[in-house]
Amino acid sequence: MAQVEEPRTGRQLPWYRGVSGYAWLVLVVAALGWLFDTLDQQLFTLIRFRSLQDILSAYYSGPALDEAVQRWGYKLTSIFLVGWALGGLLFGILGDKIGRARTMMITILIYALFTGLNALVHTPLQYAFCRFFTALGIGGEFAAGASLVAEVWPARSRPMALGFLQALSTVGNMMAAIVTFVLAEVSWRWVYVVGIAPALLVVVIRLFVREPEKWKEARAQTAADPTKELGSIRDLFTLPGVSRNTWAALLIALAGVLGLWGIGYFQPDLISKVMQASGASESDIQRAKSTVFFIFQIGGFIGMYSYAAASERIGR
């Protein structure tokens, strides 16, 4: 449960009481890292067609340009998702071996650097290269940040802390929409320059965040027992009591990702097609897309935070 009794009075403490200041610092840092993750990936979603039209106009024109823009938009989205998955896997292993804080710093620098480099691309292949490495860093940062929070926060408060961490992804998405609205008319390239800002978070991590004691204990146990290995993927699928949860988590995550990317991130295209067919003006279409986007994000925030609270009451 998310509550424990206060020793002197016997009263129930809410999940956010009795938590150390350092644990709050870790949550804020990890939440900002994830917020900037989602900001960076959402920038592409919001300006992919505008940027691709600019880049591909050097190779195509007319209907061929429209077809190429759509084709490369789907390709780059797929490449991004592959990079995200690989980043979570590879940097998840690395985080077990070298530590959560170190891995967070590496991955934040990767996604900030390659988001910024998106501003310099001039060919679709260059764009694909930058999107892949941006995703590699994003996937790795979330794996490290979530692990850091889970190992620092007390068990009674952990689900709500992680729910708060995940819910902030919607804030990052809305920030991306604001950045795009302000800068896209100047140039889509300036939108990506903003994505370099998360690199400043590395300074905070370097100065104030230390490796979790649980990770240090696990590393010491591994060093003392040569049969144990940190970062073993095999153990996730073979250890009794672990493999079942691994498969269940994979299936749940798969359903969430399919829903998010298969519906949420292509909804602007669907809205445009439906409203264009009905003869709506471009200004009405843009207004509708913005309205739906913000409703989607608000609903996401409420849903993620509410289900974290529900899991404390009715079980995982």
Rounded to a whole number of angstroms, the distance between the first and last alpha carbons of the chain is 11
Measure the CA–CA gap between 211 and 101, rounded to whole angstroms: 6
Measure the CA–CA gap between 298 and 275, rounded to whole angstroms: 23
* Cα 47–Cα 53–Cα 57 angle in degrees, nearest 5: 155
Do 108 and 145 form a contact (C-beta atoms < 8 A)? no
Share of the chain above pLDDT 70, in %: 94
The pLDDT tens digits of the residues spanning 200-252 come to 999 999 999 999 998 888 888 887 777 677 777 888 888 787 888 888 888 88
Domain ranges (residues) in the chain: 15-61+69-224
Of 246, 293, 299, the residue nearest 269 (C-alpha): 293
Do 256 and 123 form a contact (C-beta atoms < 8 A)? no
In the block, tokens 């941006």 appear at 134
Of 132, 164, 171, the residue nearest 146 (C-alpha): 164
CATH class, domain 15-61+69-224, is mainly alpha
| The CA-based dihedral angle spanning residues 68, 72, 74, 76, taken in that order and rounded to the nearest 10 degrees | -170
| The CA-based dihedral angle spanning residues 240, 242, 247, 249, taken in that order and rounded to the nearest 10 degrees | 160
pLDDT category at 11 given cuts 50, 70, 90 is low
The pLDDT tens digits of the residues spanning 65-124 come to 999 999 999 899 999 999 999 999 999 999 999 999 999 999 999 999 999 999 999 999
Measure the CA–CA gap between 137 and 164, rounded to whole angstroms: 21
The pLDDT tens digits of the residues spanning 162-185 come to 888 888 888 988 888 888 888 877
In the block, tokens 């940190």 appear at 230
> The pTM is what?
0.85
Q: For residue 291, what are the CA distances in angstroms to 178, 181, 235, 271, 306? A: 13, 13, 45, 11, 22
